[in-house]
Chain A
Amino acid sequence: MRILGIESSCDETAAAVVEDGVKILSSEVASQVEIHHRYGGVVPELASRHHVEAICPMVEAALAACGMEAGDLDAVAVTQGPGLVGALLVGFGFARACAFGLNIPCVGVHHLLGHIHSVFLEPEKTPPVYPFVALVVSGGHTGLYHVPDALTLELLGQTRDDAAGEAYDKIAKIMGLGYPGGPVIDAMAAEGEGGRVFFPRAFLDKDGLDFSFSGLKSAVARFLSEDGGKTSRADIAAAFQDAVVDVLVSKAFLAVEKMGCRDLAIVGGVAANRGLKKKAAQEADMRGIRLHMPSPFLCGDNAAMIAAAGYHYLQAGKVLGLDADVFSRATDPGRVAVRHR
């Protein structure tokens, strides 16, 4: 079963071919980082415009990379939401038409479920065992989910304000480090000493699984303006990163403990963060929990994860009608397999 995956929910145009939900035959991503760089964040209209330009070249490249033609495909899987509506519509319109033209089924994948399936795509890594807990952490999302099976997400907790990746972007902007903030701050933090400055950790309700990052952002901004350049930027970056990572890791393992799971998956763009990876690995070791984090090429938005999740939609017969549409919000009722727990 060879599935063409297509992803265009934010600022990456991606196409991939995945076999049986686990084997990547090809995976192509066109990033728009350069385009949005000067605006300090993703501009929806510009993202949509560039998806239209990139969609054909990405799909052609994904097919060519595995020596296939469109006629060899068995199904098409496409991100249906959540995401930027204008951006989603490009991939969604293209994918459904492609499947219609080929007379093969098309499935609409929940973007966050796609991210969770990124931990099933590396043959050298042992995949998680259901049920497991997943921390989805990126520029647009920060949430903890209980994952009882391949097609269900049960929301345990989520950010009440900024996503973790968004906090990185905002701090990078204040510090004049450019966009996206994650990789820059991660690299800078590795050069610094986290203990020289202390930023507050927002644990909110001690027993709760919600996050908040806006207070941290304000604390860093305040510190920067009061410090007047005395503390090195590397030390500030390290202290900021420590504060983010501490909260993410402790809430993730609290969720694992509450749900009585043995497996934790950390996925999404911020899962590529080295500070997070290190701290999560230490904690997993100590607690005897199996930790699953994808390699960096599968952390950011990609279409292989969409095709992987799409395989399970197909197995369950969740095929799109010709009159399907995209959705923008993660918790839009009735359309997705997400439920509150």
Chain B
Amino acid sequence: MKILAADTTTASASVCVMEESKMLARRFRNPGQTHSRHLLPMIEGVLGDAGMDMRHLDALVTTLGPGSFTGLRIGVSTMKGLAMAKGLPMFGFSTLEVMAARFLSHPAPVCIMMDARRGEVYAQNFDVSGNIPKAMGPAVVASPHDVLAQIQGAFLFAGSGALLYRKEIMEQAGLQALWPGILAHEPDAGEAAFLAMAAGRDAALPPHLIMPLYLRKSDAELQWEKKL
């Protein structure tokens, strides 16, 4: 199976082309500007790097969020457009799961924390001791305090939220925090492609079933609920 994967759920953007267990080409950029201008050129570039064009692909992979609402929609919409054009099936994975996949075979579980602003993080814990990440609970949007209160013992911490709230994590009693290298805190399309390969061709879906994962409702809905 040959696949193209993309992630634009945070400030960084990444795309890759993978064939079975082999990474053929990968591009990453972290320009801190809109992904809208850069995603298609990156896709064209990475296909060229892999010596391929759209006709060679068997499936497309996108991260679903959580993350920047606009950023994740650029990725999801773009990949849906490609899928519709070529009649390709799609895979969609939570950005939290994709980030956890970097730590596979690590004996300690990992707590992925992405900065969700407003003093909150998008967070989820995964058992990464096996060959795919296993969620230990639901993905949440919550204060770092509430996330940390749920966990004990040795944990890896990764993500923009983990970096932002490093002090709170280090001060949390009963936690033994482990820190990966600085390059492990951004999601990457490579792990999304890997998860698709692990899931297998039969797990792919038609593009209309691929939906973003926001975790947080829109402000209008939150205010409406407050009024009720």
Complex CA–CA separation, A129 to B93 (angstroms): 53
Q: In the complex, which residues of chain A have a beta carbon less than 8 angstroms from the beta carbon of B69? A: 45, 48-49, 86
A89-97, A115-123, A173-181, A239-247 - interface stretch = A89-97
Taking residues whose C-beta sits less than 8 angstroms from the other chain, chain B's interface range is 35 or more
Is A43 within 8 A of B220, CB to CB? yes
Q: Which 6 A-B pairs have the closest CB atoms?
A: A101-B85, A97-B81, A56-B208, A93-B77, A94-B81, A45-B218
B52-89 vs A, Cβ < 8 Å mask (1 yes, 0 no)? 00100000000000000110011011111110111100
Complex CA–CA separation, A51 to B38 (angstroms): 21
Is B208 within 8 A of A323, CB to CB? no
A89-131 vs B, Cβ < 8 Å mask (1 yes, 0 no)? 1111111111111110000000000000000000000000000
Majority SS of interface residues in chain A? helix
Q: In the complex, which residues of chain A have a beta carbon less than 8 angstroms from the beta carbon of B73? A: 48-49, 52, 86, 89-90, 93
Query: If the complex has contacts A38-B224, A56-B84, A90-B73, are A326 and B43 also in contact, measured as CB distance less than 8 A?
Result: no
For A93, give its contact among B36, B41, B218 (CB under 8 Å).
B36
With an 8 A cutoff between CB atoms, is A74 at the interface?
no
Is B211 within 8 A of A53, CB to CB? yes
Query: If the complex has contacts A43-B218, A48-B73, A93-B73, are A100 and B84 also in contact, measured as CB distance less than 8 A?
Result: no
Complex CA–CA separation, A326 to B219 (angstroms): 24
Residue contacts A-B, CB under 8 angstroms, 21 given: A43-B218, A49-B69, A51-B77, A52-B211, A55-B80, A60-B208, A70-B86, A86-B70, A86-B73, A89-B70, A89-B77, A90-B73, A93-B73, A96-B40, A96-B78, A97-B40, A97-B85, A98-B82, A101-B54, A322-B44, A323-B40
Complex CA–CA separation, A239 to B219 (angstroms): 36
With an 8 A cutoff between CB atoms, is A133 at the interface?
no
Q: Within the complex, what minimum Cβ distance (angstroms) separates B69 from chain A?
A: 6
Minimum CB distance partner of B79 in chain A? A97
With an 8 A cutoff between CB atoms, is B161 at the interface?
no
Give the total number of A-B pairs whose CB atoms are below 8 A apart.
114
Q: Within the complex, what minimum Cβ distance (angstroms) separates B83 from chain A?
A: 8
Majority SS of interface residues in chain B? helix
Is B82 within 8 A of A89, CB to CB? no
Q: Within the complex, what minimum Cβ distance (angstroms) separates A321 from chain B?
A: 9
With an 8 A cutoff between CB atoms, is B46 at the interface?
no
Complex CA–CA separation, A102 to B214 (angstroms): 30
Instruction: List residues 41-90 of chain A with CB under 8 A from any CB of chain B.
Output: 43, 45-46, 48-49, 51-53, 55-57, 59-60, 70, 85-86, 89-90
With an 8 A cutoff between CB atoms, is A39 at the interface?
yes
With an 8 A cutoff between CB atoms, is B221 at the interface?
yes
Is B81 within 8 A of A101, CB to CB? yes
Q: Residues on A close to B: CB < 8 A? A: 38-39, 43, 45-46, 48-49, 51-53, 55-57, 59-60, 70, 85-86, 89-103, 322-326
Q: In the complex, which residues of chain A have a beta carbon less than 8 angstroms from the beta carbon of B82? A: 97-98, 100-101
Q: Within the complex, what minimum Cβ distance (angstroms) separates A57 from chain B?
A: 6
Q: In the complex, which residues of chain B have a beta carbon less than 8 angstroms from the beta carbon of A60? A: 84, 208
Q: In the complex, which residues of chain B have a beta carbon less than 8 angstroms from the beta carbon of A38? A: 224
Minimum CB distance partner of B72 in chain A? A52
Is A49 within 8 A of B218, CB to CB? yes
Q: In the complex, which residues of chain B have a beta carbon less than 8 angstroms from the beta carbon of A51? A: 77
Query: If the complex has contacts A39-B220, A56-B208, A325-B34, are A70 and B85 also in contact, measured as CB distance less than 8 A?
Result: yes
Q: Within the complex, what minimum Cβ distance (angstroms) separates A292 from chain B?
A: 34
With an 8 A cutoff between CB atoms, is B190 at the interface?
no
Q: In the complex, which residues of chain B have a beta carbon less than 8 angstroms from the beta carbon of A89? A: 36, 70, 73-74, 77
Q: In the complex, which residues of chain B have a beta carbon less than 8 angstroms from the beta carbon of A46? A: 218, 220-221
Q: Within the complex, what minimum Cβ distance (angstroms) separates B142 from chain A?
A: 20
Complex CA–CA separation, A99 to B81 (angstroms): 8
Q: A48-B69, A92-B77, A96-B78 are in contact. List 20 more A-B contacts (CB 8 A).
A: A43-B220, A46-B221, A48-B73, A49-B69, A49-B214, A55-B77, A70-B86, A70-B87, A93-B78, A96-B81, A97-B82, A98-B81, A98-B85, A101-B54, A101-B81, A322-B40, A322-B41, A323-B41, A325-B34, A325-B37
Q: In the complex, which residues of chain A have a beta carbon less than 8 angstroms from the beta carbon of B86? A: 70, 101-102
Q: Within the complex, what minimum Cβ distance (angstroms) separates A48 from chain B?
A: 6
Minimum CB distance partner of A46 in chain B? B218
Q: In the complex, which residues of chain A have a beta carbon less than 8 angstroms from the beta carbon of B116? A: none
Complex CA–CA separation, A35 to B221 (angstroms): 11
Complex CA–CA separation, A53 to B209 (angstroms): 8
With an 8 A cutoff between CB atoms, is B187 at the interface?
no
Q: Within the complex, what minimum Cβ distance (angstroms) separates B94 from chain A?
A: 16
Is B219 within 8 A of A94, CB to CB? no
Is B208 within 8 A of A95, CB to CB? no
Q: In the complex, which residues of chain A have a beta carbon less than 8 angstroms from the beta carbon of B77? A: 51-52, 55, 89-94, 97
Q: In the complex, which residues of chain A have a beta carbon less than 8 angstroms from the beta carbon of B36? A: 89, 92-93, 325-326
Is B212 within 8 A of A52, CB to CB? yes
Residue among B37, B38, B40, B85 facing the most chain A CB atoms (10 A cut-off): B85
Complex CA–CA separation, A49 to B214 (angstroms): 9
With an 8 A cutoff between CB atoms, is B133 at the interface?
no
With an 8 A cutoff between CB atoms, is B207 at the interface?
yes
Is A59 within 8 A of B84, CB to CB? yes
With an 8 A cutoff between CB atoms, is B96 at the interface?
no
